[in-house]
Chains A and B, each alone.
Chain A
Amino acid sequence: MDISILREYIPLYKEALLLTMKIGWQGILMSLIIGLVGSAILHFKVPVLKTIIGIYIEIFRNTPLLVQLFFIYFALPKVGIRITAETCGVLGLGLLGGAYMIETFRSGLDAIPVIQKESALSLGMSEYQTLWHVIMPQAISISVPGLLANVIFLLKETSVFSTISLMDLMFTAKDLIGMYAKTIECLFLLVVFYLIMLLPVSIIGAIVERRLRYGQFGD
């Protein structure tokens, strides 16, 4: 392996990492919002909306992100919806992630026994106070491990962004291999930079899972 090549390439990878992270975190934020709202809609069985959410989940969970991105980026402009590649990345990741986050939060909400809600109500709390002070904190704690798994999954999925010409890590690696054929160095840096992005989340995940899991309060 040629160290001077590595040195030369690192800034390019750094750029790519920043772009990947930027789109990745925006997409994840979007997925969290969709997840919270969508799970509440499913949990409270809001008519009409719950059907729409159900269809949305099935579509996005049963098609690959790559195909979703192609559809959003190449097909939607044909019906007049034109967006930049970056927005497309955020939107694609957010919509895909939302479908997974809804299910994660929902299973958290559903795991809280009804009688917990009743005991809060019997203290004179309103539905809203019950949700906010009693149900949600418990549901979110239960959801944390699943949520972090989703975050890792989504950050990994960003690797398909290169197909819509976003200059992310994959794009940079492929481009450099194509131009200069320094395959080993390029692949090595690719792995290192993905580790930089994903390893911290994975480690936090392992720690948090141990700490925050339901029933672990007070350890």
Chain B
Amino acid sequence: MASLGIDVLFKGTNFMRLLQGLWVSIEISLISVAISILLGLVVGVLMTVDNKILKAVLKLYLETVRIMPQMVLLFIVYFGTTRVFGWDLSAEASAIFVFTFWGTAEMGDLVRGSIKSIPRIQFESAYALGMDKLQTYLYIILPQTIRRLIPLSINLITRMIKTTSLVMMIGIVEVLKVGQQIIEANRNTSPNAAFGVFGVVMLMYFLVCWPISRLSIYLEKRWT
């Protein structure tokens, strides 16, 4: 196995460093997902409001996010804002900003979808009881959508984690970058390290994402 570069992983702190790199990705994902879920709830409710201008603006937002690769958004925010506004956003802040921007739209659309699936009569019977709009959403509509939303939000986490692999492109040292560094440092002693290291990186991503997607599928089956 030595020739395939597995040994490199156990040299010094290499494995620890990979795990730390993985944690960087997960941390960025979790922060972005958390903000996305909160903002997404608001955006999703706004998407169902009967207001043409609001609808058009949110539709444009959603479509922009849907059509532009996250990598492009990442470049725009990281390189573009410095140029145009003179902001000096760190790579991490740029990443969290972009993923939140993306995640909020996706989450918003999920929220909109689940609200739309609630029969109209549910709103009407709440109004008939004298509730106002806010009360209707708070006590009647949102609680009904939560069950549907939880598996979908969990699914968003795995998508987010997979997408954070892009941040190495704007210079964040995450697991893949650490992997590259390790391979580079051991170039002479183990020329085949790429196999072991990238293999392990792939396995790490799998071990993180797979249980989460199973959980999401399990909950979806159980709750719907």
Contacts and interface: CB of A to CB of B under 8 A. Distances in A.
Nearest to B73: A191
A59 B207 CA distance: 10
Contacts of B76: 187, 190-191
A79 B4 contact: yes
Contact of A183 (B79, B176, B205): B79
Chain A interface residue count: which class?
A: 35 or more
B79 A70 contact: no
B75 A190 contact: yes
A65 B209 CA distance: 13
B162 interface: yes
A173 B75 contact: yes
Interface string A187-219: 100110011001100100000000000000000
B31 interface: no
Interface stretch (A11-19, A27-35, A126-134, A155-163): A155-163
B67 A152 contact: yes
A102 interface: no
B144 to A, nearest CB: 25
Contacts of B201: 67, 70-71
A79 B194 CA distance: 10
Interface string B59-73: 000010011111110
A74 B197 CA distance: 10
Interface in B178-197: 179, 183, 192, 194-195, 197
B199 A160 contact: no
B202 A170 contact: no
A170 B79 contact: no
Contact of A70 (B70, B80, B169, B198): B198
B5 interface: yes
Contact of B63 (A66, A190, A202): A202
A78 B5 contact: yes
A191 B73 CA distance: 9
A152 B4 CA distance: 37
B181 to A, nearest CB: 13
A184 B209 CA distance: 36
A184 B158 contact: no
Contact of B68 (A61, A67, A70, A194): A194
Contacts of A194: 67-69, 72
Contacts of A125: none
- The winner among A64, A70, A156, A184 for most chain B CB atoms within 10 A is A64
B202 A184 contact: no
A50 interface: no
B213 A61 contact: yes
Contacts of A198: 67-68
A67 B177 CA distance: 11
Contacts of B179: 70
A64 B202 CA distance: 8
Nearest to A162: B169
B165 A78 contact: no
A77 B191 CA distance: 11
Contact of B84 (A67, A78, A158, A184): A184
A75 interface: yes
Contacts of B68: 156, 191, 194, 198
Interface of A: 58-59, 61-68, 70-71, 74-79, 152, 156-160, 162-163, 170, 173-174, 177, 183-184, 187, 190-191, 194-195, 198-199, 202
18 contacts: A63-B209, A64-B165, A66-B165, A67-B176, A67-B202, A71-B198, A71-B202, A74-B194, A74-B198, A75-B195, A75-B198, A75-B199, A79-B195, A159-B69, A160-B71, A183-B82, A184-B84, A194-B68
Interface of B: 4-5, 63, 66-72, 75-76, 79-80, 82-84, 158, 162-163, 165-166, 168-169, 176, 179, 183, 192, 194-195, 197-199, 201-202, 205-206, 209-210, 213
| 5 A-B pairs closest in CB distance | A159-B69, A64-B165, A62-B209, A78-B195, A159-B71
